[in-house]
Amino acid sequence: MVRQKKNWDEDDVRINKSRQFGSSNKTRPRTKDRPDYSKAQSATIIEVDRGRVQCLIESGANKTIITAMKARELGKKSVVVGDLVSVVGDISGTEGSLARVVSVLARKNSLTRTIDDHANDERVIVANVDQIAIVIATTNPEPREGFVDRALVVAYDQGIEPIIIMTKQDLANGDEFLETYKDLEIKVFKIDKSSDLGKLQKTLANKITVLIGHSGVGKSTLVNNLLESSKNKSVAVGDDSKHRATGDVNEVTGRGRHTSSSAIALPLSSSFDGENFGWIIDTPGVRSFGIAHIQPSRVISAFPEFTKAISHCPKNCSHNEATCALNDWPGFTNQNLARLESLRRVLSVE
């Protein structure tokens, strides 16, 4: 069947009335102009709660806590505690005021994990930190090398100083477990509920430290004791309700129950201008800490004594194979070799 050609005329043309010249309903013309954020104020994210965030604005000696919402263009998971951001709008900090986060500045580092070791499902926990405190218990729940090793891999990858805090010293000593990490020269603090936290506080002073650990290890109890010791329960957030709830361990599974649902930054000083001012970032207890997104070469490069040797490694070297240049590198001391053995064990964690 041959389709006959139709003779078209002007009645067959559909006209969009909203675009007719002179129409009162014409649409707004497109523009390449973008909002001017040149006068945006810099701030630091100290808490993320659903669609709203708490930000700290510092201007000389003046420090203000404000509430803000994220600009839509930033996306759902675009900001985390520790992020440096730009904010516009009402930054007075008065009750009921609301500002807007319009951009996130480049991060110097970030603490990330992958879910079930899927490299494409990377989650950022916090950003721009100086130290990571890996909190484990002597028992109840039992300390796990796999978790500590994974946390160390991320720390070395991002240039974050790791420390280990072992709680519940009143139940066991944990020395045998800690022996595994002695050659990596990591600071270790062994405490219980009644411990003097003076030495730990000195290590936290003038630093931004993120605390991570499994549920039930006593992390929230530790945070509360640190805040009590600094006599500064609520400078950053305004009321005592921000003290972290504490929980216990499930007797059936041996795992802790989640008591913290979001990360929050808390100051460790009697005032913002305290001599030993520092921040701790408490995070929810984690049950999985995947490191599929980490490259072994970046971890090894965090150790200066191995820098020259790894430059002679084969391409894509895992640093745990027969052809690795680290195997027979001249000049390594026994201490170097001990640290290398420990580091390779950490890198081989699955």
CA dihedral (142, 288, 258, 241) positive or negative: positive
pLDDT band, very low/low/confident/very high, at 79 (cuts 50, 70, 90): very high
In a domain, 187, yes or no: yes
Q: Which is more confidently placed, 35 or 144?
A: 144
The verdict on 59 and 159 lying in the same domain is no
pLDDT of residue 59: 81
Question: Where is average pLDDT lowest: 43-57, 170-184, 241-255?
Answer: 241-255
* Backbone torsions φ then ψ of 160, nearest 5 degrees: -105, 130
**Is there a single domain that holds both residue 97 and residue 188?**
no
**Do 321 and 212 belong together in one domain?**
no
User: Is 16 contained in some domain?
Assistant: no
Cβ atoms of 189 and 199 within 8 Å: the answer is yes
Q: What are the angstrom distances between the C-alpha of 168 and each of 37, 56, 249, 265?
A: 50, 34, 13, 24
**Residue 67 within a domain:** yes
Q: Are residues 271 and 311 in the same domain?
A: no
Indicate if 64 and 162 belong to the same structural domain. Answer: no
Residues 331 and 312 in one domain: yes
- Considering the domain boundaries, does residue 65 fall inside one? yes
Q: Is 92 found in the same domain as 63?
A: yes
Q: Is there a single domain that holds both residue 133 and residue 237?
A: yes
> Does residue 321 or residue 13 have the better pLDDT?
321
For residue 325, tell me if it sits in a domain: yes
Residues 93 and 114 placed together within one structural domain of the fold: no
Is it the case that residue 292 has pLDDT exceeding 50? yes
Same domain, 129 and 96: no
Say whether both 201 and 301 belong to one domain.
no
What is the mean predicted confidence (pLDDT) over 257-263?
A: 57
Q: What is the pLDDT of residue 72?
A: 84
Average pLDDT over every residue of 16-27: 54
198 φ, ψ (degrees, to nearest 5)? -55, -45
pLDDT band at 100 (very low <50, low <70, confident <90, very high): very high
Domain count, the chain: 3
pLDDT of 287 reads 61
Residue 114, pLDDT above cutoff 90: no
Q: Is the pLDDT of residue 249 over 90?
A: no
Say which CATH number the domain at 59 has: 2.40.50.140
The contacts of residue 348 (CB under 8 Å, 6+ apart) are: 320
Helix, strand, coil percentages for the chain (3-state, nearest 5): 25, 25, 50
115 and 87 belong to one structural domain: no
* Low-confidence winner among 192-201, 322-331, 340-349 (lowest mean pLDDT): 340-349
pTM of the model: 0.78
Q: Where does the pLDDT of residue 288 fall: very low under 50, low under 70, confident under 90, or very high at 90 and above?
A: low
Q: Which amino acid is at 288?
A: S
Assigned domain for 119 exists: yes
Is the pLDDT at 255 greater than 50? The verdict is no
Are 69 and 50 within 8 A, CB to CB? no
pLDDT at residue 45, rounded to an integer: 96
Condensed to tens digits (0 to 9), the pLDDT of residues 28-42 reads 666 666 677 878 999
Domain closes at, from 72, 88, 104: 104
Asked if the structure places residue 64 within a domain, the reply is yes
pLDDT at 88: 94
CATH number (domain holding residue 273):
3.40.50.300
pLDDT class of 15 with cuts at 50, 70, 90: low
Split at pLDDT 50, 70, 90, the class of 290 is confident
Domain end among 55, 82, 104:
104
Q: Which of 104, 119, 147 is the last residue of a domain?
A: 104
Q: Domain span at residue 300?
A: 296-347
Q: Is residue 190 part of a domain?
A: yes
